[in-house]
Structure 1
Amino acid sequence: MDLILWRHAEAEDGSDDLARALTRKGQQQASAMAAWLRPHLPNNYRLLVSEARRSRQTGAVLGKHAEVVPAINPGASAAEVLSAIGWPDATGTLVLVGHQPYIGQVASLLLADAEQDWSVKKGAVWWIQNRERNGGEESVLKVMMTPGMVGDAE
């Protein structure tokens, strides 16, 4: 399984967390990252977004139907997110547009075997691949990229 953890792009401040929309800068961040992702993704990838407007808007720039998954809403734990996506048993490539702190926590758990609060920039992606090696499974970092690395949207 290839898991692409994509933190939603910059969003407006507001008291209704699920209703917060992307800012103009956030739209630029999402577009820059999507432009990089599109040619690297297989045709049959799955796109999961939370119920939060900023997550749905970030994922929408890929131009693919997204599955809205309440289990990955803001406040979810790393364990809840991994359970919701079927890690590591699911197959194929999955793009998850989610939130801090669980994006950093999932990345640290998969890559360092310890759940830590890793900081993740808005709009950044962590592409993690689960593979079998020497009779066991391992997670490897395929790429980590921020919007500023693929454009001037940072």
Structure 2
Amino acid sequence: MDLLLWRHAEAVEGTPDHLRELTERGRKQARKVARWLDDNRPKRLRVMASPTVRTRQTVSAFTDDFEIITALAPEHGVSDILAATGWPEGRGAVLVVGHQPTLGRLAALLLSGQEAPWSVKKGALWWFTNRVRNDETQTVLRTVITPDMI
């Protein structure tokens, strides 16, 4: 299974949190990563987004074919994302468009075995895959892309 974690691009400050929109810079960040994803996307990609405006705007730069998943909202945690995606037993690939600090905590869990307050930059994409080697399930970090790298 492939699991792609995409943090929403830069958004305006303010309240209510769920209604915050992307800034002009955020829209550019989203378009850059979307172009990279379009060129490098895995086959059979299921796309999920948090119900917030900023995540829906970020993912819309890539596709209009996505699911809004309440379990990806900012108030939910790592276990909610894992349950929603089916990681690691699932098949194919899932793209999650979500939020800090949850995406950073999930990245830490996948690579180190425990949650930690890792930082995922605004607009960044982390791509994980899992494999079995010598009867051991391993998580592999395939790539990390930030908008300023593209």
Which TM-score tier does this pair reach, normalised by the shorter chain? over 0.9
Counterparts of 1:12 and 1:68, CA distance in 2: 21
TM-superposed CA distance for 1:90, in Å, is 1.0
Aligned mates of 1:102, 1:131 — CA distance in 2 = 23
In 1, the alpha carbon distance for the partners of 2:63 and 2:88 equals 26
What secondary structure is seen at the aligned counterpart in 2 of 1:79?
helix
Runs of 4 or more, structure 1, over 3 Å off, are none
Q: CA RMSD in A?
A: 0.9
Show the 5 A alignment for 1:1-150.
1-150=1-150
Segments of structure 1 that go 5 or more residues without pairing to the other structure are none
Q: 1:89, CA displacement in angstroms?
A: 1.1
For 2:64 and 2:133, the matched residues in 1 are separated by 32
Whole-angstrom distance in 1 between the partners of 2:50 and 2:12? 17
Mapped to 2, the partners of 1:25 and 1:147 lie a distance apart of 10
Instruction: Please tell me whether the aligned partners of residues 43 and 93 of structure 2 are also in contact (alpha carbons under 8 angstroms).
Output: no
Deviation at 1:63, TM superposition (A): 2.2
Find the aligned partners of 1:41 and 1:67 in 2 and give their Cα distance. Answer: 17
TM-score by length of 1: 0.94
- Give aligned-pair identity as a percent: 44
- TM-aligned CA deviation for residue 81 of structure 1: 1.2
Supply the AA of the counterpart residue of 2:16.
D
CA contact 1:47–1:64 (8 Å) conserved in 2: no
Deviation at 1:69, TM superposition (A): 0.1
Structure 2 CA distance, aligned partners of 1:43 and 1:16?
36
> Which structure 2 segments of 5+ residues have no match?
none
CA distance in 2, matches of 1:16, 1:42: 35
Amino acid paired to 2:125 = V
Conservation of the 8 A alpha-carbon contact between 2:43 and 2:92: no
**TM-score for both structures, normalised by structure 2:** 0.97
